Structure 1
Amino acid sequence: MSLLSARGLHVTFPGRRGAPPARAVDGVDLDIGAGEIVALVGESGCGKTTLARSLLGLVRPTAGAVAFDGQPLGYSSGALRAYRKRAQLVLQDPSGSLNPRHTVYDAVAEGLRIHGIHRSERDERTAVAEALARAGLRPPERFFLRYPHELSGGQRQRVVIAGALVLEPELIVADEPVASLDASVRGEILALLLRLRDELGLSALVVTHDLGLAWNIADRVAVMYLGRVVETGTVESVLTRPQHPYTRALLSVLPESEGAPVVLTGEPPDPSRIPSGCRFHARCQLLASGEATPVADRCRGEDLPVLPGGGERSVACHWVTTA
């Protein structure tokens, strides 16, 4: 049974000044198993952050349902409070996540206090020290009285991770966890997430635009475009044998890829103007080159089903399914 699952998830935001509503998430099934790391990848504006926030209960879906450990997610204040102790968010900007007026100790202990986990001062100190040590800040007592401006970017991100770990969650949702860090530090943070999975059995959803990051950390990958997952499967199957033309385009710009990068034409994704048929058809390099001419009418007019949320390899593409 999946630890976290979404079924038929939709998130729609009202349009401005009479504009059509924005369908940020437009039908998604997604499963995350216990101890599994799933990478959710796609370019900016594809809806991946909105999907992640809806999975955490921070954005209430317009339709569909989220379940955690087999139980439907409730949206009362009490239900969300209990859920957010078990599922924690790690944001991409550690500087923005930390109050500059709070010490490292207070930043990590804040979760314990918010959730009313009553501990003696000694127990709280022990819990904070253990969380900092697990996040790789050793000896932890050395960091207690420091402020965020006294830390490096990598150390600040570790403090944010420690603030999540202090509540002993079962799931971490990391939104671009290394995007703001120097290249020399990114590997350390990714190695930390893998170690936490191995030592604590943590599950994780890692939201990223970087397929190289997904390759290094994920067990499974879901590629998202314009509000919907268009390709999913194990990281090896998707990233070594990409089938959807959008996935191929994303992979083509990696330094280690062979051949010329694929330059996508047309307008970038607009969730208020989702086209009929395949939502990628206006920018598809296979249609533009004529390779997909036999299925061109289907691409432009026939909708594709929502992909299953489990681990099986799936692709939402008329050309792939008929080839």
Structure 2
Amino acid sequence: MTARLDTTPSGGPDPAAGGAAEGTAAPAAVPLLSCTDLHVVFKGRGGRRTARAVDGVDLALHAGEIVALVGESGCGKTTLARTLLGLEKPTSGRVDFEGRRLGYSMRALKAYRRRVQLVLQDPSGSLNPRHTVYEAVAEGLRIHEGATADESERVAEALSRAGLRPPERFYLRYPHELSGGQRQRVVIAGALVLHPEVIVADEPVASLDASVRGEILGLLLRLRDDLGLTALVVTHDLGLAWNIADRVAVMYLGRVVEVGTVEEVLSAPRHPYTQALLSVLPEADAGDPVVLTGEPPDPTAIPGGCRFHARCQILASGEAERAGVAHRCRTEDPGVLSGDGTDATRVACHWARRGAEPASR
């Protein structure tokens, strides 16, 4: 694995109490943003088939840390991110901000989204081609605060922090006049102008050239260090997670199956799915690539037992049988992992937990 960028948390500022969530103030030790037993179900036509896009997730983000949510396409990570942003309402479970349950009234969501901002994957699609850079960055400010005397100062500050200097040079430019990296910086500036405490970045560098990816990742790290920002970075790229994250949550078929520090998860993965994902990285010293058997995951037909067992290379090789856990893999659900990924519950795998107390609930 390649050398990591510096990801030492700066320990962000104490979040100010706001009107985005219901309840009383929570102690400082609680996560800044978290979800508990979260489920999001989408009904098909006629209600005959339902897709369990998020199927029981506990996840916690603490102030000043970057958490990478990784997994293959269709695993539910974008739906989970949208639910944490309040863009999807959970079927069951809860989302908490500063220890207080998120409310779903228009007023509560507007206040919440000022403090928790989204950075999309495709800057070309998220920027209005008819708006100048200045208008694009000022838009969120105008929505949340209306006309302010310091608007131009805050737009200039946001553009500068996003690496577009001098900011005045970009005010009157349109998205088509910018490079891909510059457009992504404009999107980030549009989030920063509201001084949020959390950024949710959905594949923030997937559409960028390799030469620009490192610059944007370095920018996200500097924002964490300088502003104390907390970030959830949604990605299918474990190499990106290695370079930017403090903790990693690996998602498969609607559920987090492994969680821990980036060194724990990516240097010594315990779940067979994580091992398979890592085995195909060019820089990983993991031997031959693992070719998963079986069909891709289907959220409308989640299998019984461990949801990964039909594709699991450990089960297919007979290793689970030799360890005496094969029957449990096929019939017993490993359970939902705790949000913080404590030692006892950081992997949802009977084979990886063999000899330890079961952590299912």
Mark yes or no: TM-score above 0.5. yes
Q: Cα distance, 1:16 vs. partner? A: 2.9
2:52 to 10, 19, 23: 23
Change (3 A) 1:9 1:180: same
Other structure's SS at 1:221 match: strand
Change (3 A) 1:83 1:18: closer
Cα distance in 2 for partners of 1:62, 1:142 equals 46
How many residue pairs were aligned?
321
Corresponding residue for 1:88? 117
1:260 maps to 2:292: no
Corresponding residue for 1:14? 43
Cα distance in 2 for partners of 1:16, 1:135 equals 43
Corresponding residue for 1:214? 241
Q: Any stretches of 5+ residues in structure 1 without a counterpart?
A: none
Q: Cα distance, 1:18 vs. partner? A: 5.2
Q: How does 1:59-208 map onto structure 2 within 5 Å?
A: 59-120=88-149, 123-208=150-235
Cα distance in 1 for partners of 2:32, 2:46 equals 40
Contact between 1:246 and 1:280, CA under 8 Å: does it hold in 2?
Answer: yes
Q: Cα distance, 1:257 vs. partner? A: 1.8
Q: Cα distance, 1:21 vs. partner? A: 0.3
Q: 306-315 or 40-49: which moved more?
A: 306-315
1:246 to 253, 256, 273: 273
Equivalent AA in structure 2 for residue 15 of structure 1: G
TM-score by length of 2: 0.88
Equivalent AA in structure 1 for residue 69 of structure 2: L
Corresponding residue for 2:300? 272
Cα distance in 1 for partners of 2:338, 2:313 equals 25
Equivalent AA in structure 2 for residue 67 of structure 1: D
Q: Cα distance, 1:295 vs. partner? A: 1.4
RMSD: 0.9
Q: Identity of counterpart residues, as a percentage?
A: 78
Q: Cα distance, 1:116 vs. partner? A: 2.6
TM-score by length of 1: 0.98
- Cα deviation, 1:254-288, whole Å, max 9, x if unaligned, reads 00123111011111111000000000000000111
Corresponding residue for 2:22? none
Whichever structure has more helix as a proportion of its residues is 1
Corresponding residue for 1:312? 342
Contact between 1:38 and 1:218, CA under 8 Å: does it hold in 2?
Answer: yes
Contact between 1:42 and 1:223, CA under 8 Å: does it hold in 2?
Answer: yes
- Cα deviation, 1:210-254, whole Å, max 9, x if unaligned, reads 000000000000000000000000000110000000000000000
Equivalent AA in structure 1 for residue 208 of structure 2: L
Q: Cα distance, 1:71 vs. partner? A: 1.4
- Cα deviation, 1:62-88, whole Å, max 9, x if unaligned, reads 000001011110000000000000000
Change (3 A) 1:264 1:19: farther
Equivalent AA in structure 2 for residue 298 of structure 1: R
Equivalent AA in structure 2 for residue 244 of structure 1: H
Contact between 1:230 and 1:315, CA under 8 Å: does it hold in 2?
Answer: yes
Q: Any stretches of 5+ residues in structure 2 without a counterpart?
A: 1-29, 356-361
Q: Cα distance, 1:311 vs. partner? A: 4.5
Q: Cα distance, 1:17 vs. partner? A: 4.8
Equivalent AA in structure 2 for residue 202 of structure 1: L
Q: Cα distance, 1:174 vs. partner? A: 0.1
Cα distance in 2 for partners of 1:149, 1:261 equals 40
1:286 maps to 2:318: no
Equivalent AA in structure 2 for residue 281 of structure 1: H
Q: 162-171 or 304-313: which moved more?
A: 304-313
Equivalent AA in structure 1 for residue 117 of structure 2: Q
Cα distance in 2 for partners of 1:18, 1:267 equals 24
Contact between 1:38 and 1:221, CA under 8 Å: does it hold in 2?
Answer: yes
